[in-house]
Amino acid sequence: MAADISVGVPEWVEPMLAKPDGGRLPQGHKWTYEHKLDGYRCAMRVAADGSTVLTSRNGIDFTDEFPTLAGVLAPALAGQAAVFDGEIVVYDEHGRPDFGALQERRGRYRKHSSSPRRTERFDDVPVRFLAFDLLRLGDQVLLHAPYDQRRALLEHLVMPDPHLVSVVPAVTFDALTADRLTPATLLERVAAAGHEGLIAKLRASTYVPGQRSEAWLKHPLIQTQEVIVCGLRPGQSRFTGILGGLLLGAHHPDTGHLVYLGDVGTGFTERERSALQDRLQALERPRHPFAVDPPREDVRRARWVDPVLVGEVVYRQFTRGAGRLRHTAWRGLREDRDPADVIAPHVRTGSPPAAESEPEPVTNAGTGERITVQAGKRRLTLSNLDKVLYPADGFTKGEVIHYYSRIAPVLLPHLAGRPVTTIRFPDGVHGEQFSEKNVPRGAPPWLPTARLARSGARSGLGPGTIEYPLLDELAALVWAANLAALELHVPQWTIGPGPTRRHPDRLVFDLDPGPGTTIVECCRVAERLRDVLVADGLTPVATTSGSKGMQVYAGILTRQPERPSTYAKALAERFAAQTPDLVTATMAKNHRHGKVFIDWSQNNPAKTTIAPYSLRGREHPTVSTPITWDEVDACRRPGQLVFTADDVLDRVGRSGDLFSVLSTKRAALPAR
């Protein structure tokens, strides 16, 4: 403990820290589970007269930065002093912790506090203190009391203003099992609420200041890492003149040496780029600060800085050999962290178990260029797995194959029996792309195909046939991904038996936002479509397109191939007549400004639509994603419904296949 100069305010207690749980949430009656929060760790120290000091994890006084929290708990204490451990958070408009908003608020506070006139607003973003532990109450120091006792005393206090202070939700393992629930179920609910994960705490554990204890185990839903800013890379193209990226370091967990962790170039706002560059200019130094020289190819154009600023990134992978964070995105500076406490991730031995559907490597040619894998019952040779197809994220062809392999159990049923049109990006999303219907030369002999009559309505190609690939098994999906077939498009009908086209089994409305509109306006149109389709006896399902818009589907029964288009067109035209300022049913692009185009024509048997769970060839590896109607109703910002490959794998792991209802609930189209 460290003495504080504030009269009557209890001493600061260095916070106890949690260890990672290694991906396995502990279970048993000895454990309690708390929500893991996305904010600033804070000790709230209250004197008997209500005077309050807020102290960060590394001992920084937060009180001036969060004045609305000073004294807020005094009414609950009836003249007693107290020390609370907790987190300061900001919520977004949907009640989810928003770390980015908290970081932006901090940046404005720094500008405000350094201004002689202090005219800059910083306190317009409401903050809330969420307490999860009670370390002192009156004259009673509770550090040696068991967690259950400290928690009971904390919960007994009446929170005077729930807008400013509350107690972090917690539930024991026994209470979960009494409700016929599991920790995994709780984790799903926490994820749906937008929290960062769970902290498992031993109910009998004492509070150990400054220690990272096995008694507290954290299970994050996303991988984050504190990093030390060691250098910057000037921006290029549209970022010319401002910061392009940061070079990152951390202390080796065994030696304590500062080691190079890689870089980060995404996740910044333009304001952050400018502000960081201004701040780092004063810290420049002639040489890098690492104990070992970083790879020369990684640090071209680098400018080095004193390693005194701590930030946080999210990342997808930590490479065991090189010790690099891969696919990073910036989350913001952590003024509440000390560089000496920033430790690099531990290198894990062995490999994580492969997903059941993932190709298993068989042989490696040694050059990294070609590798043979076992995909189901097939052996395939893959090549150029390190080739970057999404430069903004560093997302490689190997990761595309990994995604399609992992998502195969839910994707394949929606491709089965449907001729697939692929859009290939052999040189990545910034290179040339081309649509391919015919099976390319060199396709494996085991790949099933369907030879169908060509539709010449649009192409003018006249009679003829197309031999489509059928991606009905894991190996076929991996084969297509190895060709950089990022996008998979399918019709609303299947084939069989043999190369005969069946009647349509899906109805689709493609909602395309025109200039001046976004997926937010599409959601408002989708809600109206849902109501009409339900009234007509159908079961609608919504998906994002993975690009700008979305689709609304329903499973149907019909013997008239043209009937879905007729029905969809009539409905689109009705919506356009009812709300001409919001909806258009006209394909001409000059009619779409400020409106949502309901594209009914994708029900035409000659048309295809992006398949659910397909990647898109956009700036980032976004995915056409089935979503719930609650998510549609709650959408108020375009970013709420943007899902990447990793997001979708997590969603399917939590919620299963939201698109599967199309196969189980089909109904006849109404006769009108």
Residue 232: per-residue pLDDT: 93
What's the CA gap between 672 and 343, in Å, rounded?
Answer: 66
The helix or strand, by DSSP H or E, that contains position 552, with its residue range, turns out to be strand 550-557
Residue 237: per-residue pLDDT: 63
Topology of 224-341 in CATH?
OB fold (Dihydrolipoamide Acetyltransferase, E2P) (2.40.50)
Residue 356: per-residue pLDDT: 41
Reply yes or no on whether the pLDDT at 562 is more than 60.
Answer: yes
Confidence of residue 219 (pLDDT cuts 50, 70, 90): confident
Beta strands in 365-502 (DSSP E): 370-375, 378-383, 388-390, 395-396, 421-424, 434-436, 449-453, 465-469, 485-490
Q: Given the residues 19, 30, 36, 589, select the one marked as catalytic.
A: 36
CA distances from 10 to 85, 166, 181 (A): 13, 21, 40
Tokens of 111: 């500008």
More confident site: 336 or 221: 336
What's the CA gap between 95 and 37, in Å, rounded?
Answer: 13
With beta carbons less than 8 A apart as the criterion, state whether 669 and 507 touch.
Answer: yes
Mean pLDDT of 632-647: 89
Provide the b/e sequence for 397-422 (b: ≥16 CB within 10 Å). Answer: bbbbbbbbbbbbebbbebbebbbbbb
Topology of 360-490 in CATH?
DNA primase, PRIM domain (3.90.920)
More confident site: 116 or 487: 487
Mean pLDDT of 179-202: 84
Residue 7: per-residue pLDDT: 60
Reply yes or no on whether the pLDDT at 577 is more than 70.
Answer: yes
Q: What angle do CA 581, 583, 584 make, to 5 degrees?
A: 110
CA distances from 323 to 254, 300, 345, 517 (A): 13, 19, 8, 43
Confidence of residue 365 (pLDDT cuts 50, 70, 90): very low
Task: Assign domain 17-220 to its CATH superfamily.
Answer: DNA ligase/mRNA capping enzyme (3.30.470.30)
More confident site: 156 or 244: 156
What's the CA gap between 350 and 74, in Å, rounded?
Answer: 52
Boundaries of every domain in the chain: 17-220, 224-341, 360-490, 506-668
What's the CA gap between 294 and 299, in Å, rounded?
Answer: 7
Tokens of 410: 């839910």
Partner residues linked to 87 by β-bridges: 41, 130
With beta carbons less than 8 A apart as the criterion, state whether 415 and 476 touch.
Answer: no
Confidence of residue 384 (pLDDT cuts 50, 70, 90): confident
Please write the tens of the pLDDT for every residue from 283-306. Answer: 999 999 999 998 887 787 899 999
With beta carbons less than 8 A apart as the criterion, state whether 454 and 465 touch.
Answer: yes
Please write the tens of the pLDDT for every residue from 591-612. Answer: 889 999 999 999 999 999 999 9
Report the chain's terminal Cα–Cα distance, integer Å: 77
pTM summary value: 0.52
Reply yes or no on whether the pLDDT at 368 is more than 60.
Answer: no
| Three-class SS state of 435 | strand
What's the CA gap between 607 and 509, in Å, rounded?
Answer: 12
Specify whether 437 is catalytic.
Answer: no
Please write the tens of the pLDDT for every residue from 74-106. Answer: 999 999 999 999 999 998 777 778 877 887 788
Mean pLDDT of 322-331: 79
> Within 10 Å of residue 514's Cβ, how many Cβ atoms?
18
Q: In percent, how much of the chain has pLDDT > 70?
A: 90
Please write the tens of the pLDDT for every residue from 130-188. Answer: 999 999 999 999 999 999 999 999 999 999 999 999 999 999 999 999 998 888 888 87
Residue 459: per-residue pLDDT: 39
What's the CA gap between 17 and 132, in Å, rounded?
Answer: 13
Reply yes or no on whether the pLDDT at 311 is more than 50.
Answer: yes
Task: Give 296's contacts (C-beta < 8 A, 6+ positions apart).
Answer: none
Reply yes or no on whether the pLDDT at 239 is more than 50.
Answer: yes
Strands 360-364 and 506-513: unpaired
More confident site: 471 or 119: 471
Confidence of residue 532 (pLDDT cuts 50, 70, 90): very high
Residue 439: per-residue pLDDT: 95
Please write the tens of the pLDDT for every residue from 417-452. Answer: 999 999 999 999 989 999 999 999 889 999 999 999
Q: Torsions phi, psi of 395, nearest 5?
A: -80, 120
Tokens of 48: 């008997």
Q: Which CATH number fits domain 506-668: 3.30.70.3300, 3.30.70.20, 3.40.50.2300, 3.40.50.970?
A: 3.30.70.3300
DSSP class of 600: G
Residue 458: per-residue pLDDT: 41
What's the CA gap between 645 and 648, in Å, rounded?
Answer: 5
DSSP string, 128-156: EEEEEEEEEETTEE-TTS-HHHHHHHHHH
Reply yes or no on whether the pLDDT at 578 is more than 60.
Answer: yes
More confident site: 214 or 236: 214
Highest mean pLDDT among 20-24, 196-200, 237-241, 392-396: 196-200
Match 């393992």 to its residue by tokens.
Answer: 173
Mean pLDDT of 479-502: 92
Task: Give 50's contacts (C-beta < 8 A, 6+ positions apart).
Answer: 71, 74, 77
Residue 95: per-residue pLDDT: 78
Residue count of the chain, please give it.
Answer: 672
Residue 463: per-residue pLDDT: 59
Reply yes or no on whether the pLDDT at 358 is more than 70.
Answer: no
Confidence of residue 322 (pLDDT cuts 50, 70, 90): low
The helix or strand, by DSSP H or E, that contains position 482, with its residue range, turns out to be helix 474-482
With beta carbons less than 8 A apart as the criterion, state whether 603 and 568 touch.
Answer: yes
With beta carbons less than 8 A apart as the criterion, state whether 335 and 273 touch.
Answer: no
Residue 423: per-residue pLDDT: 97
Q: Please give the single-letter amino acid code of residue 142.
A: L
